Structure 1
Amino acid sequence: MDLEQIFNDNKEQSIEGRYLTLESIEPLLNKLNTNNQLSIVGESVLKKPIYKYQIGHGKTKILLWSQMHGNESTTTKALFDFINVLHNGSSLASELLQAFTFCCIPMLNPDGAKAYTRVNANAIDLNRDSQDLTQPESRVLQEVFHCFKPHYCFNLHDQRTIFGVGSSGKPATVSFLAPSYNEEREINESRLKAIHLIAGINEVLQQYIPGQVGRFDDSFNLNCIGDTFQALGVPTLLFEAGHYHEDYQREETRKYIFMALLSSFTILSENDIVDNGINKYLNIPQNKVVFYDFLYKNVKLNYDGIEKITNFAAQYKEELIEDEFVFNAYFVEIGDLDGYYGHFEYDAKEAAYKDKDSNFPKLNQKADFYLENSIKFVNGLINK
């Protein structure tokens, strides 16, 4: 199966970038509503509709939800790319529709999506509300779960650019987790199914992004929805879309999430369980916080007349300013920074730092500066 070609043929061109709102996807949902697959299953805090899209008539039921965190849109894009496959009339589409019933909530947190925030309109992280169910969005997901009675759950998220695959120096472009179902992090039948499936997906992704697949820490937290559903006996997989080189809009990562989704269903439909799955899963390196967006090395800094050769780092803040999404780089760390990497690295070779106010970068200051008064950096990057 040529996953790259299938992605190119089915990529949904009407949505792109990081800022994806309900207004972005409603026309698409209505277009895909060819046979009453679309329904409204609830409302957000601000009374925005929460949509469910259900398609297929197979005996294996898959529940997928995205944008539980409003500013995590990459998996939403990939989910629509996959739904396009189900509509393309191919033999693959026919096989998937006969094998599975897919229940998709493409945007669980429309208020957070509009505001480009992790939390909902009540400033609650929905992924810490699976027990108390204080929020309408949390209750919607729980109700869909109990009514649909899925055989597998796919919890779709984005992760920050700070994560690397162990200490390899490679970014965690895609990460997975088979959440724990108890404090002891034991492996029961349902968790084992998730583990085997992730191990199989990883084998596929290694052909495309070798060394760039990570695994999240499996500490148990019953307030997290994945841990809750796993504890209820339903195999649950956490997907995390991360950084790919120079892909801050996550259009390349989108492709790998699509590949992961499609390959997971192929594995399930063919009952293609990997050998030695637990070890293969545990051998996926854990995510580690080792990256900055910008790392400047061997820079001469002058602080109160004292010169020092050191390193400093900057990080993008994803900011929504008057409904325009922008990346603004700010200084976040100064020091040795041994063991850290930058998605953009620059060796100053002891060139002197200077900005409009001083000869020393200040934390939380915008990353606009000069080196030796000749090389200008604007928003973290060399101004050519």
Structure 2
Amino acid sequence: MNLEELFTEFKEESIEGRYITIDSIEPLLQKLNRDNQLKIVGKSVLEKAIYSYQIGIGKTRIFLWSQMHGNEGTTTKALFDFLYVLNSDSELAKQFLKTFTFCCIPMLNPDGASLYTRENANKVDLNRDSQDLTQPESKVLRAVFEGFAPDYCFNLHDQRTIFGVSDTGKPATLSFLAPSYNEEREINESRLKAINLIAGINDVLQEYLPYQIGRFDDSFNINCIGDTFQNLGVPTLLFEAGHFQDDYQREETRKYVFMALVSSFAILSENDIVDNGIDKYLNIPQNKVVFYDFIYKNIKINYDGNEIITNFAAQYKEELIENQICFNAYIIQVGDLENYFGHFDYDAKGALYKDEFDNFPKLNQKADFYLDNDIKVVNGMIKI
């Protein structure tokens, strides 16, 4: 099976970029609702509909949800691409629909999606509300989980551009986790199923995404939904969609999430599970905070009358302006950046820093400046 060709064939072109809202996906859900598979399973704080979509007649029950955090829409795009596979007449769709019953919530947090915030409208992180269930969205997720009684859960998220694959200098384009079920981070039967499946997914994806797959930290927090569901005895997989080179709209990453989803169910349907995959799983390099969006090295600055050479880093803030996500670069670190990498890395070779303020890179200042008067940097990028 060529996963690249499969993605190209079934990619849903009408949604793209980073700003994925309920208005973006409602027409797609209606289009897929061929046999009353679509239900409104609850309402958000601001009374927006939360939908579930169920398809398949198989014995193995798969529960997937995306955009628990409203500003994390990459996996939502990939989930729709996958749903289009399931709604095709392909042999793969027939195989999957005979083996599995899928239930998905494509957007758990429609208010956060519209506001482009991690939290919901009450400023609560739903991924820290799995025990107290203070929010309507958290209650919806738990109710669907209990009513559907899944055999596997897929918890779909985005992660920031700061994450790399250990110290390799490669961005963590995808990261996976089999969440812990207890403080001791022990491995029981449920967690082992998730570990073995992730080991299998990684084996497949290394062909397409070599050295850019990480393993997320497994510290236990019962307030996180993945840890809760794992604790309740259901094998749970966390997907984290990260950065691919020059792909701030996450369209390349979307492709790899799609590949991971298809691989997951191909492995399960063919009973091609890696046995005792613990070592393979643990050999996936750890996700690590090692990246900035921009690093500028060997910059000359005047500091108290003395010329010194320093480095500094800038990071994009994703800001919602007039229904568009704008990437605005701000200086966030000055000094020793040893052991850090930049998605854009520039060696100024002693060029003199100047800006329209104090000719000194200050924290939280926009990354607009000059180097030796002839190089202009606008919003982090070099304009010569």
Question: Any residues of structure 2 matched to 1:277-288 within 5 Å, and which?
Answer: 277-288=277-288
Residue-by-residue CA offset, 1:333-382 (whole Å, 9 max, x unaligned): 00110000000000000000001112211100000000001100100001
CA distance in 2, matches of 1:306, 1:222: 53
Deviation per CA, 1:199-233: give whole Å up to 9, x if none: 00001111111110001111100000000000000
Alpha-carbon distance between aligned partners in 2 of 1:376 and 1:213, rounded to the nearest angstrom: 35
Q: CA deviation at 1:304?
A: 2.3
Q: Distance in 2 between matches of 1:109 and 1:248?
A: 22
Letter in 1 for 2:250: R
Q: What residue number does 1:321 align with?
A: 321
Letter of the aligned partner of 2:2 in structure 1? D
Q: Is the 8 A contact 1:56 1:102 kept in 2?
A: yes
Distance 2:136 2:174 in 1: 30
Q: Contact 1:303–1:359 at 8 Å: present in 2 too?
A: no
User: For residue 51 of structure 2, what is the aligned residue in structure 1?
Assistant: 51
In the aligned structure 1, how far is the partner of 2:46 from the partner of 2:273?
44
Aligned residue for 1:232? 232
- Alpha-carbon distance in structure 1 between the residues aligned to 2:91 and 2:382: 49
Give the whole-Å Cα distance in 1 for the aligned partners of 2:124 and 2:15. 27
Tell me the equivalent position of 1:135.
Answer: 135
Report the equivalent of 1:350: 350
Q: Secondary structure at the match of 2:294?
A: strand
Match of 1:16 in 2: 16
**Structure-to-structure mapping, 1:238-317, within 5 angstroms:** 238-317=238-317
State the secondary structure of the residue aligned to 1:4.
helix
Separation in 2 of the partners of 1:87 and 1:347? Answer: 50
- Write out aligned runs for 1:27-38 (5 A): 27-38=27-38
Q: Distance in 1 between matches of 2:90 and 2:137?
A: 35
State the distance in 2 between where 1:153 and 1:314 align.
Answer: 37
Q: How does 1:174-185 map to 2 (within 5 A)?
A: 174-185=174-185
Range 23-32 or range 304-313, more displaced: 304-313
Deviations 1:137-179 (A, max 9, x none): 0000000000000000000000000000000000000000000
Secondary structure of the structure 2 residue equivalent to 1:172: coil
SS across alignment from 2:118: coil
Matched, 1:95 2:60: no
Q: Which residue of 1 aligns with 2:160?
A: 160
* 1:8-62 residue CA offsets vs partner (Å, 9 max, x unmatched): 0000001000000000000111011111110100000000000000000100000
Deviation at 1:107, TM superposition (A): 0.2
Work out the number of aligned pairs and report it.
384
Looking at structure 2, the residues matched to 362 and 321 of structure 1 have their Cα atoms a distance apart, in angstroms, of 24
RMSD: 0.7
Write the distance in 2 (CA, Å) between the matches of 1:160 and 1:307.
35
Corresponding residue SS for 2:193: helix
Gaps of 5+ in 1: none
SS in structure 1 of the partner of residue 314 of structure 2: strand
Q: Which moved more, 1:355-364 or 1:139-148?
A: 355-364
Structure 1 residue ranges (4+ consecutive) displaced by more than 6 angstroms after TM superposition? none
Question: Are residue 121 (structure 1) and residue 121 (structure 2) matched?
Answer: yes
CA–CA distance in structure 2, aligned partners of residues 364 and 212 of structure 1: 30
Question: What amino acid sits opposite 1:176 in the alignment?
Answer: F
- Separation (CA, whole Å) in 1 of partners of 2:85 and 2:335: 49
For 2:8 and 2:321, locate their aligned partners in 1 and report how far apart those are by CA, in whole Å.
32
Letter in 1 for 2:187: I
Amino acid at match of 1:247: D
Q: Distance in 2 between matches of 1:304 and 1:249?
A: 41
Report the Cα distance in structure 1 between the residues aligned to 2:28 and 2:255, rounded to whole angstroms. 19
CA drift of 1:121 comes to 0.2
Letter in 2 for 1:127: N
Letter in 2 for 1:289: V
Deviation at 1:322, TM superposition (A): 2.4
2:127 partner SS: helix
Where structure 2 has 5 or more consecutive residues not aligned to the other structure, the ranges are: none
Q: Output the amino acid matched with 1:366.
A: K
Where 1:40 maps in the other structure, the secondary structure is strand
Shift of 1:276: 4.0
Query: Per-residue displacement from partner, 1:78-100 (whole Å, max 9, x unpaired)?
Result: 00000000111001110000000
Note the alpha carbon deviations across 1:303-331, whole angstroms, 9 max, x for none: 22121111100000000012221000000
1:247 aligns to what SS in structure 2?
coil
Aligned partner letter, 2:305:
G
Q: Percent identity?
A: 76
SS at match of 1:284: coil
Corresponding residue for residue 77 of structure 1: 77
Structure 2 partner of 1:195: 195
Shift of 1:275: 4.3
| 1:365 matched residue in structure 2 | 365
Q: Could you say which residue in structure 2 is the equivalent of 1:220?
A: 220
Q: Is the 8 A contact 1:64 1:105 kept in 2?
A: yes
Provide the TM-score with structure 2 as the length reference.
0.99
Provide the C-alpha distance between the structure 1 equivalents of 2:55 and 2:338, rounded to a whole number of angstroms.
50
